[in-house]
Amino acid sequence: MGVVGRPHGVRGLVHVHSYTANPADLAGYGPLLDDGGRTWTLAWRGEGVAALVDAEGRTLVDRNAAERLTNTRLYVERDRLPPPEPDEFYLADLVGMAALDRTGRRVGRVAVVHDYGAGTSLEIERDGAAPLLLPFTTACVPEVDPAAGTLVVVPLDEVLVPDETRAAE
């Protein structure tokens, strides 16, 4: 949901990058968790600048404490997120889905969802073959059925990774 950035000043404030549609909404999700399982409450003090309070009610009070949290990722429990709109998906929910071709034949399963800023892509694990990397677009993934745990993939020739058997031919 967010990442703690560099310190702001000397009194323990930090820059926080929020991944919510409206950055200010991050504080409204309540307690946030980090990778170590610690709980934090966030209170905005300015645009992108926040105070962090730990589970015991202690606020960061100096720059050194703030520096130690730089690059700390902040999460919320899945059940506190609103349901996605139709034709929208939480990327984490795609991991593990069965990838099918248009005929319903299993191609593999979604192993990883990559998002480096230029568009989301899916890495499909395939039995006995190299992984398939596809852009997460309606052209390559025309159907997603979260209830069934499946999605339909249409591999494009230019993005297919040849497996080693075909490469030898």
Residue 169 has a pLDDT of: 52
Q: What is the mean pLDDT of the chain?
A: 89
What's the CATH code of the domain at 105? 2.30.30.240
Domain that holds residue 106: 91-163
Q: Are residues 17 and 74 both part of a single domain?
A: yes
- Whole-prediction pTM: 0.66
**CA 19 to mean position of chain CA atoms:** 9
Q: DSSP for 121-166?
A: EEEEEETTEEEEEEE-STTT--EEETTTTEEE----GGG----HHH
Domain count, the chain: 2
Residue 8 lies in a domain: yes
Same domain, 28 and 69: yes
What pLDDT sits at residue 158?
A: 44
Nearest to 71 by CA among 4, 15, 166: 4
Amino acid code (one letter) for 148: A
- pLDDT tens-digit profile of 33-79? 999 999 999 999 989 999 999 999 989 889 999 999 999 999 998 88
Q: Are residues 72 and 107 in the same domain?
A: no
